Structure 1
Amino acid sequence: MFFLLTCRIPDDVTHLIPLAVSVVRAPCEKAQTLLQVNGAMQRGSSAKFVGGDANKAVNGTPLWNVAVCGPALFYYHDDISIRLVEWLELLRAQGFAKVFLLQTAVHPNIEKVLQYYEADGFVGITKFLYPVPYANEPNLRRLWVLTERAKLFAMENLYFTDCLLRHMHEYRFIAHFDPDEMPMLPNHDSFPSWLHDHIRRTKSTNQYSSYDLSWYYHHSDLEPVKSLPKYLWFLRHTRRVTSNVFPTLSKPTYDMDVVTGVYSHGAITCAYGKCKAKAYTCPRAEAYLGHYRRDCGEACKTPRSVLNVPCLLKYRDQVSSDVHKVLIKLELI
């Protein structure tokens, strides 16, 4: 396992800007390391607000840009390149400013997609290797991922936190989504406008550590929209289950004025220590996170078990055109 070390700066030197830090094993031991400090004391103004305009505010609440910290991609045997393109284009259409991903050894088609979007500037890539003794050879890693789920999830907490801390000075709000998840916003045209609305609603209460969307499942065997090309996965699967799956689980959009340590579904540590601020969970009747899963089977054949939610189709013209251009350019179709 790799570790996250924290050290609070002494009060008498908080006015100084640190350039580097040394790590030693014991007090007063001779330092053998000098590690550069990354980050800034203030956020870049171009990343603070949508369009870089601080005047874009309603009732004193700014319309913030939002970034995404995604997972470490370890898909070597599974080619999810086409679905990854649609996921990224839908996030772009919803108004996300940038997506940050970690990359291990992946399928060559996924490599092409990541290189394309990194050059485009919409995706930031951090190369990632699992620490010894864990396997980085793709076949052994696949076995480890399938058999050591607890260790995999424990390791995720560290690199999710690493991603947030790397970019906390660029973005006030950073969401965490996986490539099989998509915000479903029936009443808003963009994710920043949804976030703005809920910040405005809760402004009089205590500051929240995150703004969360709960899951509803969209299964692969539910009848898709037949008028769209088969390479569009999210746009075609508009039907979701009505059952209350994992009602206590949600995915967060973290407030980086507060949060310093996280796991996949919430905050662990905050700027003042253990998080006291609670997460705000959006009512699922207003918005939710579509979790695109495998077949539902018999459970989805009972009366009133399925509901059609076509809110992603408001992006269909833009996204279907952009996805098609990228797939043709990368020779994926």
Structure 2
Amino acid sequence: MLWPKYWGVNDKGASPYLISCTNPFYSRNLIPQYISIVENECDHANNILEIKNKRPKDGHKKHFLVSVKGIDFVDDVSLLLIEWFEILKLLGVDKVEVFVVNAHVNVIRVLQFYQSEKFVTIKYLKYPHELPNKVNESWHQWSQNDLVPYHDSFYENLYSYEFMVPLDIDEFIMPVKHEDRTWLDLVLRTINRFKEKHEEFDAFPVTNRYFLLKSIHENETIEGIPKKLRFLSNIYRAANFTPNGGNAKTFMRTDRVLAVHNHFPFSCIGPENCRWFIVNLDDGQLSHYRIDCDNPECKESKANPTKDITLWKYKDEILENVNETLKRLKFFDKIL
């Protein structure tokens, strides 16, 4: 079961499972095209599932896949999404898979645009109607639902990318050092830090830091940067990182991880628990842009925010690319 029981039991719905089986043709170097799943041995099958064995023809993996769990909101966040995609492209992300439950028509247009650019893959997601699929109906079911798209994304792209990173559209992993421009720079720097340990690592978590839109600076404007651009225009964050790894996001190695979660891997191929090497706080952070929150860290951030313009090393490129995309989409009468 893809959910530790000590997190609570989902007794009002259905829990996701990872089912493993041996390939009976492995010794002959053959891979099945289809399988069926039955409840008991020798039962008659009433389903047939295609094996998605996506291996690059040249055997070369790309670096980074981002997976976005089921989008389920009606707000028009199309401009936010455009800015986010352009930042991810500059960070060296190769592909973003977005699972859609329900979204505004403009959001769909943006997703379709980036899909036509071969940067995004859209997957429409529908959960069984009898399950309590809203957070106020069942927190356990709502949380466990996320694990279905994440694992679909992870296993379908297992042989195509070196790392999978689950993200929400209000956050991204930011290389802090000025000379590090991409995620690859950050990962290579992290790998070099742990080489001397001579150990195998399965994942690289990046610690969370909140950028809160509601603070003593929320009404300030910055010349040359439209307030509509959430990420570029909000330059004040919490002074401290979220303690105990809370809300971290992780580079997960596709050749080592077995089961994934929003924040950390559940299980890995090693005989022990997953081993991860936390990205050095001076090297990278998860920049998490929340409108508001009320935990002690957030309250401190709102009262004593710290200026952080690390993202501005891409400022001109982000502005240019966002404007170009808006022109092509013909979304707004006036360009930003």
Question: Normalized against structure 2, the TM-score is what?
Answer: 0.83
Please say if 1:279 is aligned against 2:276.
Answer: yes
Per the TM alignment, residue 280 of structure 1 is displaced from its structure 2 partner at its CA by 1.4
Superposition pairs of residues 39-118 of structure 1, within 5 angstroms = 39-40=53-54, 42-43=55-56, 45=58, 48-49=61-62, 65-76=63-74, 78-118=75-115
Superposition pairs of residues 143-182 of structure 1, within 5 angstroms = 144-182=134-172
- Aligned with 1:278: secondary structure? coil
Q: Which structure 1 residue ranges, 5 or more long, are not aligned?
A: 50-64, 136-140
Q: What one-letter code is carried by the residue in structure 2 that aligns with 1:307? A: T
Q: Where does residue 222 of structure 2 map in the other structure? A: 226
User: Are the counterparts in 2 of residues 209 and 277 from structure 1 also a CA contact under 8 Å?
Assistant: yes
| Distance in 1 of aligned mates of 2:302 and 2:129 | 47
Distance change >3 Å, CA 113–CA 167, structure 1 → 2: same
1:281-314 per-residue CA deviation (whole Å, 9 max, x = no partner) reads 1122321101111247863465xx3222211111
Q: What one-letter code is carried by the residue in structure 1 that aligns with 2:282? A: A
1:180-201 per-residue CA deviation (whole Å, 9 max, x = no partner) reads 1122212111111111221232
Q: What one-letter code is carried by the residue in structure 1 that aligns with 2:184? A: P
Please say if 1:299 is aligned against 2:295.
Answer: no
- Aligned with 2:281: secondary structure? coil
Per the TM alignment, residue 175 of structure 1 is displaced from its structure 2 partner at its CA by 1.1
Q: Where does residue 57 of structure 1 map in the other structure? A: none
User: Are the counterparts in 2 of residues 225 and 238 from structure 1 also a CA contact under 8 Å?
Assistant: no
Per the TM alignment, residue 225 of structure 1 is displaced from its structure 2 partner at its CA by 5.5
User: Are the counterparts in 1 of residues 98 and 122 from structure 2 also a CA contact under 8 Å?
Assistant: yes
Q: How many residues align?
A: 306
1:224-256 per-residue CA deviation (whole Å, 9 max, x = no partner) reads 561201221101112111134343221111001
Q: Where does residue 208 of structure 1 map in the other structure? A: 201
Please say if 1:24 is aligned against 2:14.
Answer: no
1:129-164 per-residue CA deviation (whole Å, 9 max, x = no partner) reads 0123147xxxxx6xx234433321111122212211
Distance change >3 Å, CA 326–CA 46, structure 1 → 2: farther
| Distance in 2 of aligned mates of 1:262 and 1:190 | 23
- Aligned with 2:164: secondary structure? strand
Q: Where does residue 251 of structure 1 map in the other structure? A: 249
Distance change >3 Å, CA 11–CA 27, structure 1 → 2: closer
Q: What one-letter code is carried by the residue in structure 2 that aligns with 1:114? A: L
Question: Normalized against structure 1, the TM-score is what?
Answer: 0.84
| Distance in 2 of aligned mates of 1:12 and 1:298 | 58
Q: Where does residue 124 of structure 1 map in the other structure? A: 121
Please say if 1:8 is aligned against 2:24.
Answer: no
1:32-62 per-residue CA deviation (whole Å, 9 max, x = no partner) reads 222210024x55548625xxxxxxxxxxxxx
1:97-145 per-residue CA deviation (whole Å, 9 max, x = no partner) reads 111110122111111111111111100111100123147xxxxx6xx23
Q: Where does residue 4 of structure 2 map in the other structure? A: none
| Distance in 1 of aligned mates of 2:326 and 2:34 | 43
User: Structure 1 residues 89-98 or 10-19, which shifts more?
Assistant: 10-19
Q: Where does residue 54 of structure 1 map in the other structure? A: none
| Distance in 2 of aligned mates of 1:275 and 1:131 | 35
Distance change >3 Å, CA 6–CA 295, structure 1 → 2: closer
| Distance in 1 of aligned mates of 2:18 and 2:76 | 35
| Distance in 2 of aligned mates of 1:157 and 1:269 | 13
User: Structure 1 residues 286-295 or 242-251, which shifts more?
Assistant: 242-251
| Distance in 1 of aligned mates of 2:57 and 2:67 | 18
Distance change >3 Å, CA 275–CA 234, structure 1 → 2: farther
Q: Where does residue 316 of structure 2 map in the other structure? A: 317
Superposition pairs of residues 185-204 of structure 1, within 5 angstroms = 185-187=175-177, 188-204=180-196
Q: Where does residue 55 of structure 1 map in the other structure? A: none
- Aligned with 2:83: secondary structure? helix
Q: What one-letter code is carried by the residue in structure 1 that aligns with 2:251? A: T
User: Are the counterparts in 2 of residues 90 and 319 from structure 1 also a CA contact under 8 Å?
Assistant: yes
Please say if 1:241 is aligned against 2:254.
Answer: no
Over the residues paired in the alignment, what is the CA RMSD in angstroms? Answer: 2.3
Q: Which structure 2 residue ranges, 5 or more long, are not aligned?
A: 1-13
Q: What one-letter code is carried by the residue in structure 2 that aligns with 1:218? A: F
Percent of matched pairs sharing the same residue: 23
User: Are the counterparts in 2 of residues 70 and 176 from structure 1 also a CA contact under 8 Å?
Assistant: yes
Distance change >3 Å, CA 226–CA 275, structure 1 → 2: farther
